[in-house]
Structure 1
């Protein structure tokens, strides 16, 4: 293992195997971690598979908008010169990079799972999933401009929702070999891993042996044994099909009791249906299973609040914010829990932190104003009550100070 390139923003790390004729160049997904003291995307799997890998690691979730990326990709080209196969690979943010940097890396294959075309709000105003980062990042036209890719990449995505819109934009610019898997959600890596198809997809794309049509059929057929797929179907049900949603969610847990996504989906749907006691029990099972994973603690807090247990929810909300202190929407979310238990000053402090983290988002300022109006209204009510008590005391001949 050695670093081929290093800057304050980017590290290019080589992890060669005995076979140097094939290389996979990976890019981090969103949330893999900050800094460089960590494994690269897919590092353990590729090492165990005996595949030489180069891991391109960004210091944080900046969507690789770094001016030194050209130099970083030149280091990749030099390290893989003469190799028979070079494949870029990534999921979500990493899928974005796998497409954007395939040519610069000298790749002759690319695999992008649930990629974005862009998250620049000026280009994709529908995309809100990473809005705090998208407004923060300075988008570089040489990286985030019109997409070019001389290879025909394999692109796996759920055509339902925003990933479908992103996929359409990708296909507007380049020719792809699509694998469309409805209701597997984002990222599709989770589903492919659940049904045991992720490793074969990576290795067959690398070798050039992937039959995209056959893989697409096989991946769709595998949905019948997927708890995640059934859970996503449950979530997609409209309100008037609430009983069907509950039935599907229960089935998803029966199929995959060890899948926390299925369990959390069941808990959320039960909560929405007003079955609060059962919902709390199910989400507590998931939280225990995942050892207090903050992703599931968010659901736990929301379900406890819906069950009218905000005091029980507050410590867990604080745990979530402790794990991700830089996320503005979580600060605002914490403030709502604080407000529900009458922790007014802390609630205002939390929403002020949200404003500081993402000043462009007006909803945080609206929330702060709402708190301030409620406090002002409560004070007016209290003043009126004090005056009434004072006047009543005068009428009874009591001292005004007694009020």
Structure 2
């Protein structure tokens, strides 16, 4: 293992195998970790498979908008000079980079799973999942301009989510091999891993042997064995199909009780159905299963809030915010919990922190205005607070991958 390029923003880490005729160049997904004292995306998997890899690691979730990326990609090309196959590979934010840097890396294959075209609000006003980051990042036209790729990228995505809109923009710039998998959610990497198709996809794309239509059919057929797919179908049901949604959600948990994603979906649907005790019990099971992972604690708090138990939710909400103090929407979410618990001044202070962290978001000043107005009137409108809590408390991993 050696670092071929190193700056404050980006590292290119080389982990060659015995076969250096094939290289995979990976890019981080959102939330993989800050700094460089960590593994690169797919590092263990590629090493175990005996595939030489270059891991391009960003210091933060900046969608690789670093001025030194040209130099980093020069190091990639030098390291892979003479190789028969070079593939860029990433998921979500990493999928964005796999597409954007494929030419600069000298790639003749690209695998992008659930990528974005961009998250620049001027280009994709529909994209709200990483809105605080998108407004913070300085978008570089030499990286985030019109997309080009000499290779024909393989792009896997769920067309029923925002990802479908990104792929339409990608296809307006370049030709791709599109693998469309409805209701597998974001990122599709999770589904592919569950049904055992991620490894074949990587290997076949790298070798150039992938038959896109055939793989697409195989991946769609595999949905019948997927707990995640059933769980996503449950979430997609309209309100008047509540019983079907509950039935599907319970089935998904029966199939994979150890999958916290499907347990969380069941809890959310139970809360909507007014089955609060069962929803809370399910989230307690999920939080134990995940050793208190803050991503799932968000939903535990939301289940308690839906059950009108804000005082119990408050300690856990503060734990979540302490984990990610830089995320404005979590401070606003905490404010709703504080307000529900009767801590009105603390709720106003938490909203002010959200505004400081993300001053461009217009909903936070509106929330602060409402709090101050209700405080002056001596009101504590519970339904209004619960609505804000549910809308502001997002599942970080699901949107940050």
TM range (shorter): over 0.9
Q: Counterpart of 2:214?
A: 214
Q: Counterpart of 2:70?
A: 70
Q: Counterpart of 2:286?
A: 286
State the distance in 1 between where 2:82 and 2:377 align: 73
Please provide the CA RMSD for this pair. Answer: 0.9
Q: Counterpart of 1:392?
A: none
Q: Counterpart of 2:149?
A: 149
* Runs of 4 or more above 4 Å deviation: none
- Check if 1:40 corresponds to 2:40: yes
State the distance in 2 between where 1:31 and 1:108 align: 28
Q: Counterpart of 2:246?
A: 246
Task: Give the Å deviation of 1:212.
Answer: 1.2
Give the 5 Å matches for 1:392-403.
none
SS, match of residue 47 in structure 1: helix
- Check if 1:88 corresponds to 2:91: no
Q: Counterpart of 1:389?
A: none
Task: Give the Å deviation of 1:161.
Answer: 2.2
Give the 5 Å matches for 1:4-19.
4-19=4-19
SS, match of residue 312 in structure 1: helix
Q: Counterpart of 1:127?
A: 127
Deviations 1:215-239 (A, max 9, x none): 1111111101111000000000000
Instruction: Report the number of matched residues.
Output: 379
SS, match of residue 371 in structure 2: helix
Which sections of structure 2, spanning at least 5 residues, go unmatched?
Answer: 380-401
SS, match of residue 274 in structure 1: coil
SS, match of residue 179 in structure 1: strand
Greater relative contact order: 1 or 2 (C-alpha under 8 angstroms, separation 6 or more)? 2
Deviations 1:275-321 (A, max 9, x none): 11111111111111011111111110000111111111111111111
SS, match of residue 111 in structure 1: strand
Which one has a bigger Cα radius of gyration? 1
Deviations 1:362-397 (A, max 9, x none): 111111111111222229xxxxxxxxxxxxxxxxxx
Q: Counterpart of 1:393?
A: none
TM-score, normalised to structure 1, is 0.93
State the distance in 2 between where 1:90 and 1:2 align: 21
State the distance in 1 between where 2:351 and 2:15 align: 44
State the distance in 1 between where 2:147 and 2:228 align: 32
Deviations 1:86-144 (A, max 9, x none): 00000000000000000000111000000000111101111111100111111111100
Q: Counterpart of 2:390?
A: none
Deviations 1:200-258 (A, max 9, x none): 11111111111111111111111011110000000000001111100110111111111
Which sections of structure 1, spanning at least 5 residues, go unmatched?
Answer: 380-403
